[in-house]
Amino acid sequence: MKYAARLITLLILLFIVAGCSIFRPQPSGTLFTFVLEGKVYEIAGYVNEVGESANYLTYREDERIVFRAVDQNRVGMISRIVSGSITVNEANEIYQAGIEIAMERDLFKNIEKERTFEYRYGKYQLIVETYQKRVDVYHNRFILFDLQWELMGVYWDDDSDGILDREDSGDLELDAAQNLYMIAIQQAAEKNRLQETEDGQILISKNKNRSRELAGIAY
């Protein structure tokens, strides 16, 4: 099964306010249920107050959780198993099937990602996204794919100072990811897509001409 990550960078479920019983509001996100080979699964989406997000894939039997897996930061791939004996690959097959069902039912919407910069470097696809935490305070997310758009890592520059602070998931050590992050930042600067604030934050500037759309949730 081809991963939907090859088609879109972020896969985030659309919250339907009315007219669809399989979506219902949650305290911090949305819930989508689907049936695959006679079993009912759910994908719950959450976003916290600083813009960090995750989708949780869960399977239950008689209200007991059999397994739970997470797509940290909603990049379209299960990154780890939270509980249960399922493998990441097995969870990903179920997750991608659920996403395809949601897409077939038109339960996604497209939004423009203005503060996103993409650059191909060697065997990597590099993506830098800038998010606003609060007024005049930002952080950057660095997402690393291979050329087939298979996820290789998600990293955060918490202070938008050009230095990666932590890793959500990834095949590369933080130092190696930092080198690729700086290459992406340099390329953004060369293409006039970099903005530096008075207090030294390094941001991806808005791209008003961006035509590529990404799947997003409406809150």
Average pLDDT over residues 105-124: 75
Q: Note the pLDDT tens digit of each residue in 173-190.
A: 999 999 999 999 999 999
For the chain, the DSSP string reads ---GGGT-S--------SS-TTEEE-SSEEEEEEEETTEEEEEEEEE-TTS-EEEEEEEEETTEEEEEEEEETTSSS--EEEESS--HHHHHHHHHHHHHHHHHTT--EEE--TTEEEEEETTEEEEEEEEEEETTEEEEEEEEEETT--EEEEEEETTSSS---EEEEESS-HHHHHHHHHHHHHHHHHTT-EEE-TT--EEEPP-TT----EEE---
Confidence of residue 23 (pLDDT cuts 50, 70, 90): very low
Average pLDDT over residues 118-139: 87
The full set of domain ranges for the chain reads 4-110, 116-210
Confidence of residue 154 (pLDDT cuts 50, 70, 90): confident
Q: What pLDDT was estimated at residue 55?
A: 87
